[in-house]
Amino acid sequence: MTDKKGNSLERVLAVLEVFTEDRLEWTPEQLMEELGYSRPTLYRYLKTLKEAGLLSSMPNAGFTLGPKVVEMDYLLRQSDPLILKGERHLAELTRRFSCTTLLVRWYGNRILCVDSRTSAKDPLSSYPRGRPMPMGRGAIARSIIAFLPRRHILPRIEASLEDLRSVGLGATVEEIHDNLKRVRKAGYAVAKGEVTPGVVGVAAPVFDAGQSPIASLCVTIAAELVDTKVVEEIGTCVREAAASLSAELSADRRAPAERQRVRED
């Protein structure tokens, strides 16, 4: 029974997964063709999702994402420790440099900006909050991949091999791995124009008491405003800010266990 329920849940969630930047609206017929669901099954799922506010539709039109998504986004902003604790670090970096700062969470096979600040007069960004970023290009992606355990980093390199090759990190998995080791040693990654032309990205990983990064803290700045010395200065600041944020998140994770030990003693 549990497996059946789990399978049904996955099938319902699959309906939401088909909504992308390239495909914002779907008719029932298109969904049936895409997902392979029978008409009764699909309409049951659509009814459930619409009643929950996760989907909306107009007469004689297709389905789009619904208002519940906006409500959940508001609750996320109010409750996510990464966002709440990251705010001051974003603000401090934008005070120090004429830049845009990004807090980017990694989940599944995606990296997604969850918060940002800017002090640049004409900020340049191809990936505003909520838009998934590439896993094989840019400082943010490398700041995450480089700090994965070896058993996870090699499969991740293989999955993004073409993108990593295209930005000059190496021709083979081992060459790319060696370059990522240098990123790990520095504590931050630098990329120039890989995601947005004319922009330099500097990013460092964020942890939450685990060994794998959960997010990345990044500064993006116009290339014309920086030289090697300034990039190194930004790198040091980003690395320190990410380490401080990681320590705060780690302390939060440890606190419940420590309170429990105090009660037991």
The pLDDT-based confidence of 257 (bands split at 50, 70, 90) is: low
Residue with tokens 């794998």: 212
Helix H or strand E segment including 90: helix 81-96
Q: Residue 18 in contact with residue 26, Cβ under 8 Å? A: yes
Determine which of 65-79, 215-229, 241-255 has the lowest per-residue pLDDT on average: 241-255
Which residues does residue 219 pair with via DSSP β-bridges, in sequence order?
A: 101, 202
pLDDT of residue 255: 57
Phi, psi dihedral angles at 71 (to 5 degrees): -60, -45
Task: Name all domains of the chain by residue range, CATH numbers in brackets.
Answer: 2-68 (1.10.10.10), 79-256 (3.30.450.40)
The whole-number average pLDDT for the span 13-28 is: 94
207 or 261, greater pLDDT = 207
The pLDDT-based confidence of 237 (bands split at 50, 70, 90) is: very high
Q: Which residues contact 54 (CB under 8 A, 6 or more apart)?
A: 16, 65, 66, 68, 69
Q: Which two tokens stand for residue 148?
A: 């994965």
Q: Kindly tell me if the per-residue pLDDT of 150 is higher than 90.
A: no
Which pTM does this prediction carry? 0.83
Determine which of 16-20, 98-102, 144-148, 256-260 has the lowest per-residue pLDDT on average: 256-260
pLDDT of residue 261: 52
pLDDT of residue 130: 83
Q: Kindly tell me if the per-residue pLDDT of 4 is higher than 70.
A: no
**CA 8 → CA 15, 20, 36, 66, 240, distances in Å?**
11, 22, 14, 21, 45
Torsion of CA 168, 159, 73, 127, to 10 degrees: 20
Q: Residue 265 in contact with residue 222, Cβ under 8 Å? A: no
Nearest partner of 104 among 148, 151, 139, judged by Cα: 139
DSSP 43: H
Q: Residue 198 in contact with residue 167, Cβ under 8 Å? A: no
pLDDT of residue 127: 74
pLDDT of residue 258: 54
Q: Which two tokens stand for residue 22?
A: 């390239």
The whole-number average pLDDT for the span 48-68 is: 93
The pLDDT-based confidence of 58 (bands split at 50, 70, 90) is: confident
The whole-number average pLDDT for the span 218-244 is: 96
Separation between Cα atoms, residue 202 and residue 153, nearest integer Å: 20
At 34, the amino acid letter reads E
Q: Kindly tell me if the per-residue pLDDT of 96 is higher than 90.
A: yes
pLDDT of residue 86: 96
Nearest partner of 139 among 89, 102, 96, judged by Cα: 102
Torsion of CA 71, 73, 75, 79, to 10 degrees: 180
Separation between Cα atoms, residue 188 and residue 232, nearest integer Å: 10
The pLDDT-based confidence of 29 (bands split at 50, 70, 90) is: very high
Q: Which residues contact 170 (CB under 8 A, 6 or more apart)?
A: 164, 176, 177, 178, 179
Q: Which residues contact 66 (CB under 8 A, 6 or more apart)?
A: 49, 50, 52, 53, 54, 55, 56
